[in-house]
Amino acid sequence: MNMIYGKGASGGIAAGVLKIIRRERTEIREETYTDVTSETAKLHAALAKAEDELVQLYAEAVEKVGEKEAAIFEIHRMMLSDEDFVAEAENFIRNGHSSAETAVRKAGNALAEIFGAMEDEYMKARAADISAVAERVADILGGCENVIRLTQPSVIAAADLTPAETVMLDRKMVLGFVTEGGSPMSHTAILARTMDIPAIVGAGAIPDHCDGCPVVLDGNEGVLYVEPDEHTESRYAEAMREAEDERKRLERFRGKTCVLSDGTRVMVTANVGSLSDIDEAMRGDAEGIGLFRSEFLFMGRNSPPTEEEQFEIYKQAALKTGGRECVIRTLDAGADKQIGYLTGGAKEANPALGLRAVRLCLAKPELLKVQFRALYRASLFGNLSAMIPLIVLPEEIREVRAIAKAAQDSLVSETAAFGRMKVGIMIETPSAAILADRLAPMTDFFSIGTNDLIQYTLAADRENPSVSYLSRSLPESVRRLIRTVCSSARREGIPVSLCGELAADVRETKFLIDSGVTKLSVSPPSVLRVRESVMREASRLVPVR
């Protein structure tokens, strides 16, 4: 038995045959090209194709891993237009007479070296992103694809995996992966955790003779056992049995409902980004859809979806939830979700505080009116609700309500059939939380988005690990805001849901219920685990009904 040590990047255990992936990477050649104009044109054509790929990849990643983790592909897309990167590549073509492929590799290496030399681990990890972007553009120029294909379920090994390669992995075929390089803070590692793929990074050279050998991968400890002995196999088989026992334990909570001693029902619903996610949520026993991200309809295309296109999707969403509530979040574009034909590629000093979400929709009211028309029509087929993101002031609700009324009036004038629909708002900013007593009478429900609420309350970028210590535990400031929101909702008699990552944190389940949250919306795989937490940790719950 051989043991290869790395760093655990994604917990879990995988056992199977090792498949080593060796890519044929073109070495940087010092060839000379005299047709500078032609090579420069090839460079920009490849950049454009890479951008198109990333737009599509972002849309697919939203479906697989959610918008937060999919944001890396928006970052990669922005890197493609980075002036330093493009100018450096053009300079290698113009002054070094390099081919476009060689120039882009040189430019990527130069920038990656700058980041790799930094002391901050987060910034070091960004070197891998720069390399991934440059390699993909170079691969396009060289006619190479970036999809890993397997013929049998395997544990895969590679020098490294790009975020694009990771998100496109077939989960049925990839049992786990180990990379020779990489960092636990890389986006590849983050995606592995989100996709629940056991993974090890930074394992160093993996000998070719290991290809095809039986292995056990321990993503918790960061150890790969090649041709494990009987004791090791037995030990890990027991660990995998324990994991299966946990799965069976959680299955006991399928079909159960949670009711507080005062008769209040506490529901566990799901966050989804596509119709296929709804199928997964229903299989996972979600009690409805607490957040359906509608922006995926607007991505990977050159113009907004028509009313009919939206109507068909919302209709299917209503039918798939089978009478359970399905809450559709209206278009939440801008910031980390740039949609070129809507946002115009405008550069904002701080996109998170700029023209995004409801602000973008109010700046383009016809966009929101069309979405409301489609939603009202689709609500005939099920229990649909609309949820407006990033409300900060009462005036915004009034404007949204006016657009919703205009949508209804236009349908009436056309004698088009439509149903009733609740319209709620997301509480994602301290402003909205503080004004909750004024907002509550104007809306049908609150949904607390804690990802943004924590970020805006602490003035700390949630993607920046240098300030992550500020939110390792739920700050008292955010706790107070949540209590304020729930108190205002209770006085007005409207429900409060919570759809941020905090909803799946079982350490905080009791606090949320005690505060007055009556719906926790989580990723589909987390539904049963959170329901178990609600039923076991909330002391006021009566026996299961």
| Catalytic center residues | 187, 499
Instruction: Answer for the pair 503, 534: CB distance below 8 angstroms, yes or no.
Output: no
Integer-rounded Cα radius of gyration of the chain: 25
Scan for tokens 């209206």, then name that residue: 330
Instruction: Answer for the pair 421, 388: CB distance below 8 angstroms, yes or no.
Output: no
- Of 540, 543, 533, nearest in space to 261 by CA: 540
Which tokens go with 545?
């009904």
Please name the helix (run of DSSP H) or strand (run of DSSP E) that holds residue 455, with its range, or none: helix 450-458
Triad 271, 452, 290: Cα angle to 5°: 20
CA–CA dist 213, 233 (Å, integer):
14
The values of phi and psi at residue 435, to 5°, are -95, 15
Beta strand 223-226 with 2-5 is antiparallel
Instruction: Answer for the pair 414, 404: CB distance below 8 angstroms, yes or no.
Output: no
Sign, CA dihedral 450-453-459-464, equals positive
Q: Would you state the torsion angle of the CA atoms of residues 529, 534, 538, 543, taken in this order, to the nearest 10 degrees?
A: -110
311: burial class by Cβ within 10 Å (0-12, 13-18, 19+)?
Answer: buried
Q: What is the DSSP letter of 142?
A: H
CA–CA dist 256, 249 (Å, integer):
13
Instruction: Answer for the pair 361, 324: CB distance below 8 angstroms, yes or no.
Output: no
How many of the other CB atoms lie within 10 Å of CB of 40? 16
Cα 186 to chain centroid, rounded: 15
How many of the other CB atoms lie within 10 Å of CB of 455? 21
C-alpha pair distances (Å), 282 with each of 252, 276, 437: 16, 10, 34
